[in-house]
Structures are given as C-alpha cells and as structure tokens.
Amino acid sequence: MADKVVLLSSWASVFGLRVQIALAEKEVDYEFREEDLFDKSSLLLESNPVHKKVPVLIHNGKPVCESSVIIQYIDEVWTKGPSLLPKDPLQRANARFWTDFIGKTIYPCGSKIWRNKGDAQVQAAAKKELIGILKQLEGELGERPFFGGETLGYVDIALVPFSRWFYTYETFGRFSIEKECPKLMAWVRRCNDRESVSKVLPDPHKVYQRNCGLKKRLGLE
C-alpha cells in the first residue's frame, strides 16, 4: 500500500519549510496543504489540538506535530534516503542541542525586530541579540561546509529557512547580516546549491512583503 503523506503548513513558516526540506531530501511524495493561520482548517485543529499550529505531518492518517519531532520521525521512517541526524550518539545529541537552541532563540528575537511598534530601544537590543545568536552559530559551524559535516543535516535544515527571513530582519532593523556574519552567509549559499533547499525556500522579498502585510493587519505599524 502506498504511503499517504500530507503536510499542513504555510508557505512562509520557517518551521514548515524545515519539514519540506527534510521530505525533499528523502524524496518523499506528499500533498502540501496551505493553511490560513487566521482561519485554521478543521483538519489542522483536529490534528494538532494541543498547539493548533503548523506544521503538521499526517502520515497514513496519523498526525505528527512540532517540526523537530517531525524531522526526526521522517528520518526514522524513510531510512533509504540520506540520514538527517548523525548516527553517533554524541553528534546526535549535539545536533539536537543546536536545533533546540535555534528554535528557542531566532524566532522570538527576530520577531522583536520586525514586529516592533516604534520602540527603538527594544529593537536595538533585539538586533544586538540576533547578531550574537548568529555569531554563536557561526562559531559552531567553524570551518565545516555544513553543520552536518560534509552534507546537509538536521541543524542545517533547522536553520536555513530563517535565511529567507534575514531580509525582513535586516530591512526593519537596518543592518546587514552579510556584514556581521559573512561565514554564515557563505553557508547559506552552499545550502542553496542543494535542490531540496532552493526548490523549497521562498523568495526573501516575498517573505518581506508578507510580513509587511501581516504587521499592518496586526496593527503593529
């Protein structure tokens, strides 16, 4: 019986994009269903009753929620494709650590930059914090081509969707991530060479337009 895989997500969701990259790396066929986050489908609400958020992967009718949990699930089910997590327990723990770090830090910090409503001090502090976080990640990357070593791995997949939000952060925050973190931007370009990344990730300008619209809609201008 063929696998039926459905992904409930939103085209600009960094967390959903991670899952899309993972599915592409494993060459898994799936149906993408775009969710309107202001008018969530009954399927989404039923599939993720706890958080009511995207992404949700529905595999043969069974939902899996939380992007980091979904990616590990994909890695464990579709074993024929490249391994997304390292096999070595210590490297695996390290990959989980940095993915968890990325999940806890970039999104809330970035939000304080672009969702800012006229509070220059908060925005300036958030900008400094974001640069600090990205430099820390640059340090962790070191001289390796990818966080996963020679190839794209769990941490790369967790981080690279945020690169499409850099333009938003830079424009609202008035700074250049290329200038502050050139090694990280070189890593972004290496990731973009992979089809699983370049075919999945949206245009940063499109993301920026979407965020401008969202900011207006939320009354944050």
Binding footprint of another protein on the chain (CB under 8 A): 50, 59, 62, 64-66, 68-70, 72-73, 76-77, 89-90, 92-94, 96-97, 100-101, 136
The nearer residue to another protein, 148 or 173, going by C-beta atoms, is 148
Nearer to another protein, 64 or 207 (CB): 64
Beta strands across the sheet bearing 31-34: 31-34, 5-9, 56-59, 62-65
- Calpha distance 194→187 (Å, rounded): 12
Residues 203, 205, 207, 209, CA torsion sign: negative
Among residues 76 and 119, whose Cβ is nearest to another protein?
76
- Kindly state the smallest distance separating residue 62's Cβ from another protein, in Å: 6
Q: What are phi and psi of 121, to 5 degrees?
A: -65, -45
Report how far apart, in Å, the C-alpha atoms of 157 and of each of 46, 171, 175, 189, 213 are.
27, 24, 25, 13, 27
Find the shortest distance in angstroms from Cβ 205 to another protein. 33
Type and span of the H or E element at 124: helix 120-141
**Of 87, 61, 91, which is closest to residue 75 (Cα–Cα)?**
87
Least gap, CB of 192 to another protein (angstroms): 27
| DSSP SS3 for 5 | strand
